[in-house]
Amino acid sequence: MELSPSVSIERTESGLEYIWVDSAFCQAKIFLQGAQLTEFTPAGKGNLIWVSEAEDYLEGKPVRGGIPICWPWFGVHSKADWPIHGVARKLLWRAHSVEEKSDEITVKLTLPMTLVEAQYWPHTSQLEVEFVLSDKLEVRLTNINTGDAPFTLTQALHTYFPTPEVSNTTVDGLQGAKYIEFDEGPFEQTEVVGFARETDMVYTQASPVQTINTPAGIIEVKRENSTSCVLWNPWIEKSQRLSNFNDDEYHKMLCLEACNVMDDAVQLAPGESHTLSTIIHWL
């Protein structure tokens, strides 16, 4: 990959490589492991992405925070010993290209399919992700069926957002959507969502735009080619069971995830492609 003036390859003390973007309009950090973005700070504004202070950035271990890529399934697989949220977030992606313009930088990574065990993904396909960095962040996850048989997958861009205090934070724009929580439902969302307990809502028939209203400002979150999303906060008890997560950090974060899950699963015939996108910025 040929770098540009604003882009470099750096390494953590633990040895993980990441792409560092330091431009006039934003700063961003994207790890090659998992193709996981862990920072996006537009010029003059705060970081839009949350990462746990307990994160140790170890090889083969997903980062607690940022935007993990859940693929080719989301959540717990029907085969109990298979990894939660698929395999892509633990694998080493390849830095493919960087394109720098006057007002945006696009970083593209691809997942070498030779790294994906056939038991988990016996299909012939390509998977790539593009990060379009300007005063906004756009993440585009593209699946291409390069084989001769159809396949189905579920996936998510599992974005962690920061807040000074989650109990004073609300999410607007989910009204009218259906949701399942803790295997119960579907229910209809009728109000703006607040946080006063563990939250794990899987939404379908969701509108493409939500806003996260935090004490530090309003974040707009938009999805494309997705009618499903997940809203998550572990609250008190689950926080104590999570790895790389301090017991009190549930106060400082929430996840609003662009998904293709349940009835919104991706079905691709030979030669077809699908791009799941999320677009995030401060209002």
Q: Which residues are catalytic?
A: 158, 257
Alpha carbon of residue 147 to chain centroid: 26
Q: State whether residue 127 is helix, strand or coil.
A: strand
Cα–Cα distance, 76 to 222 (Å, whole number): 25
Question: Residue 159 phi/psi, 5° resolution?
Answer: -75, 130
The DSSP line for 145-174 is E-SSS-EEE-EEE--EEE-S-GGG-EEES-
Question: Residue 35 phi/psi, 5° resolution?
Answer: 50, 45
Cα–Cα distance, 183 to 161 (Å, whole number): 24
Cβ contact 221:278 at 8 Å:
yes
Neighbours of 215 (CB within 10 A): 10
Q: Cis before residue 72, ω within 30 degrees of 0?
A: yes
C-alpha closest to that of 256 among 187, 197, 208: 208
